[in-house]
């Protein structure tokens, strides 16, 4: 049996399979990024018509109504952000609320703050420990605006912090 495995490895079939898998994974990543780019350009009507804070409040009310969770918001600083930064933060908040609610969080706190021109979004929850790496999804959304992402996962909950530089947050 080991001779057959050794032969498969030495005759290149293993490398061929690895190459096919690498190409498939690369195509999957490109497809996911294309879908995220498409959804990035779709903003909720509430955001466009009523502003950032009402849109986030509406989203929070919806999540609270569908799930047994309390959401505390302090997002008024988001009103001063550029449109693209608002859309990005809205999408990040939606993602974070969905993930926290899926981990049975009882309380979620969402804060948007001005940090010397930069904009910081912090979403903290008391849900179960997140075992998988959630940072990648947030990095993909924040990346086009040069945003940085920090995720702190602990037994007591998860905190996601995204900071957009002032040139991306205000222009």
Cβ neighbours of residue 80 closer than 8 Å, sequence gap 6 or more: 114, 170
Q: Per-residue DSSP letters for 123-168?
A: EEE-PSP--S--HHHHHHHHGGGT-EEEEEEETTEEEEEEEE-HHH
Q: What is the pLDDT along the chain (171 residues), one digit of tens a residue?
A: 555 555 555 556 677 777 777 888 888 888 877 676 565 445 677 788 889 999 999 999 999 999 989 999 999 999 999 999 999 999 999 999 998 998 899 999 999 999 999 999 999 999 888 766 778 889 999 999 999 999 998 888 899 999 999 999 987
Going from N- to C-terminal start, the domains of the chain cover: 2-35, 43-170
Tokens linked to 14: 């293993």
Tallying the residues shown for the chain, one arrives at 171
- Decide if domain 43-170 falls under CATH 3.40.50.1820: no
């Amino acid at each position: 049996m080991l001779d057959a495995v050794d032969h498969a490895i030495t005759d290149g079939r293993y490398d061929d399979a690895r190459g096919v898998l690498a190409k498939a994974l690369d195509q999957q990543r490109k497809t996911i990024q294309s879908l995220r780019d498409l959804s990035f350009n779709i903003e909720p009507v509430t955001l466009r018509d009523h502003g950032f804070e009402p849109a986030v409040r509406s989203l929070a009310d919806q999540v609270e109504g569908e799930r047994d969770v309390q959401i505390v918001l302090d997002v008024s600083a988001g009103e001063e952000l550029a449109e693209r930064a608002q859309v990005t933060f809205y999408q990040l908040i939606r993602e974070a609320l969905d993930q926290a609610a899926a981990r049975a969080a009882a309380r979620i706190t969402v804060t948007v703050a001005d940090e010397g021109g930069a904009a910081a979004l912090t979403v903290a929850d008391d849900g179960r420990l997140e075992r998988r790496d959630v940072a990648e999804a947030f990095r993909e959304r924040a990346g086009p605006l040069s945003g940085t992402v920090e995720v702190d996962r602990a037994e007591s909950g998860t905190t996601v912090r995204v900071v957009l530089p002032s040139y991306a947050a205000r222009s």
